[in-house]
Chain A
């Protein structure tokens, strides 16, 4: 079956702009989590959605937000972009409440100039 799909793969934005990233989970998976990966901080958890509700949130400013739709697809939005937001943004899907395995998409490489 199809894996996790993230769009776009690459994005260049200017400081101060906002950006929306998209994630389509594996069919049947209801949980979507977002992560930010940078060389200095590694992989860090942003937030997680299950059944259109945010269940967990990492330690990121309010400029980072997300949502999940009824078909489990998810979007994350970053407003007022800063240079430090340049990163690989990864989406992971899992079955849901009792699953212990997550499957990642290829990521969106965001560059803020």
Chain B
């Protein structure tokens, strides 16, 4: 059983569309991070959420931490080809030193 389940697993959309990806668990977390990874590269940290119900915005990306701190969502408005990549949620056991990653959502944005 995966600690963090992400959905959907794959997503292929046209440029300009909106999308939401989810990260779900039955466990409660003190913080959660979202990363984006491009092929052959390391994950790049997008955001860290720490408070239940918290909403953070990064340009066209909106991140939300669930009220119970068990889940999170990432919404992308007007997707661009540059948003293509693997989106990963991750949680640490108190610190960032040992992260557990979700199953990942592979997003492809086409022209």
Contact = CB atoms under 8 A, between A and B. Distances in A.
B41 A92 contact: no
B62 to A, nearest CB: 19
A76 interface: no
A103 B42 CA distance: 9
Given A94-B95, A99-B95, A99-B96, A104 B101 contact: no
Main DSSP-derived SS at the B contact region? loop
B97 A33 contact: yes
Given A97-B95, A101-B45, A43 B101 contact: yes
A98 B88 contact: no
Main DSSP-derived SS at the A contact region? strand
Contacts of A4: 42
Contacts of A103: 45
Residue among A55, A56, A102 with most chain B CB within 10 A: A102
Interface in B79-109: 88, 90, 92, 95-101, 103-104
Contacts of B30: 100
Contact of A56 (B40, B88, B97): B97
A40 to B, nearest CB: 11
A88 B40 contact: yes
Contacts of A48: 97-98
A24 interface: no
Interface of A: 4, 6, 31, 33, 35, 42-45, 48, 50, 55-56, 58, 88, 90, 92, 94, 96-107, 109
